[in-house]
Amino acid sequence: MLTESELRSLMEDLESYRVERTRSTADMDKFREAICSFANDMPGSGLPGYLLIGVDDKTGRASGLTVTDDLLKQLASYASDGTILPAPALFAFKHTLSTGEGEVAVVEVRPHHLPPVRYKGRICIRIGPRKGVANEAQERLLNERRVSGTKPFDNQPCLGSSLSDLVVDLFLNTYRPEAVDAEIIAENHRSTEQQMASLRLFDLKAGCPTHAAILLFAKDPLRWLPHAYVEYVRFDGPTLSDTPMVEKSFNGDLLSMLRSLDAFVKQLPNGRPVATSSLQEALVSDYPEVAIRELLMNSVMHRSYEAASPIRFFHFSDRLEIQSPGPLYGEATRENFPRQTSYRNPTVAEAMKILGFVNRYGRGVVRAQEALRRNGSPEARFEFGDTFFLATIPIRR
């Protein structure tokens, strides 16, 4: 939190590259562009940037705004709604000025450790008070600024692989048009490797695709990541010792695998009518489709791809179990789950949002529980192991 003296300094420094001021409370594009530019930290200061709502941009004076809870919730949502990728670290709060001039909504944005950050496929930046979109040289600088020692596994180079191991058309014709603004693609004269590098899909120094690119576009992802698949088994009873009735493996590039999982999940729910009164019935499912889908997508997004184990999707007579390799990650703990989310695989998470398999970050478990409640089912249960994460969906009786 800022002190009033610190806030005043930010309000009055009209030439600072770290501050965006606005009287408007409704210009959501402008807000997101500012957040994106601060996350990119083009000058490389390592310092947070500030969006100040309720401050005149020309004078630096408060405009007399009353900050509502709805405004603060909207601003905070930009960290997880998937419009800015990779997701920025930001904090939204209200400051009431002691002089009675009104209130200021403050959004503090931390520089991202995996630039470049994009909004609507554009890399927004600030140099001094000027706002704009990064050119090729500036984008290259942001690419080079990533802290190699802190790269998550999906951003690390898949050593030994090459562009020839990928279905490059899948990147150029399916992924790139969704991830990058069309005008920027039209102006782009860089190599495929350089274009992929700007999306954390190619390591120029190592000269090879990253693990995220292998997962997304490889002709044979299992050659490089042999446990990057989902194993489904249906048993005829409630235990692992019961007879397997159906066995199925979901693999291939991530887009194909997720489409197959999506189609398969639609076949699983067993709808049936239940009486709600002497004259009415309602249709319920053993397992609501939304709950299964959300927890499966969560497992693909958050699993450890370094682990020597697939995702295990087991269908028992009384429950579904989805076991992901890898424990809770980063700031997420059993005490703050599911309120706190940390991304073990930020580029995979970004890709799943871009490709439409995730609507909003951090909502998967909440959406699953809501679907179970609507269906009249018990809530999903979670087990936090040292090497795994287990979600259990009980059958609706």
Q: What angle do CA 281, 296, 227 make, to 5 degrees?
A: 150
pLDDT of amino acid 220: 97
Tokens of 303: 């699993």
Side chain identity, residue 182: A
Length of the chain: 397
- Same-fold call for 4-132 versus 230-394: no
Burial (CB count <10 Å: 0-12, 13-18, 19+), residue 273: exposed
> Using CA atoms, how far apart are residues 166 and 215, in angstroms rounded to an integer?
10
Q: Which residues pair with 122 in a beta bridge?
A: 119
Of the CATH numbers 3.90.1150.10, 2.60.40.1120, 3.40.30.10, 3.30.950.30, which one belongs to the domain with range 4-132? 3.30.950.30
- The two beta strands, 118-119 and 124-127, are unpaired
- What string of pLDDT tens digits covers the 397 residues of the chain? 789 999 999 999 988 899 999 999 999 999 999 999 999 999 999 999 999 999 999 999 999 999 999 999 999 999 988 899 998 999 999 999 998 899 999 999 999 988 999 999 999 999 877 889 999 889 988 988 876 556 899 999 999 999 999 999 999 999 999 999 999 888 888 899 999 999 999 999 999 999 999 999 999 999 999 999 999 999 999 999 999 999 999 999 999 999 999 999 998 867 666 665 556 666 778 999 999 999 999 999 999 999 999 999 999 999 999 999 999 998 888 899 998 888 899 999 999 999 999 887 888 999 999 999 999 999 999 999 989 999 999 999 8
For residue 357, report the phi and psi dihedrals to the nearest 5 degrees. Answer: -85, -15
Which residues are CB-neighbours of 195 under 8 A, at least 6 positions away?
Answer: 176, 180, 188
d(CA 310, CA 304): 9
What pLDDT does 61 receive? 94
Domain boundaries, the chain: 4-132, 147-224, 230-394
Contact 149, 199 (CB under 8 A): no
Query: According to the model, what pLDDT value does residue 140 have?
Result: 86
Q: What angle do CA 330, 349, 306 make, to 5 degrees?
A: 60
The answer, yes or no, to whether the previous bond of 116 is cis (omega within 30 of 0) is yes
**The pLDDT of residue 62:** 95
| The overall pTM is greater than 0.85 | no
Assigned CATH topology for domain 230-394? Heat Shock Protein 90 (3.30.565)
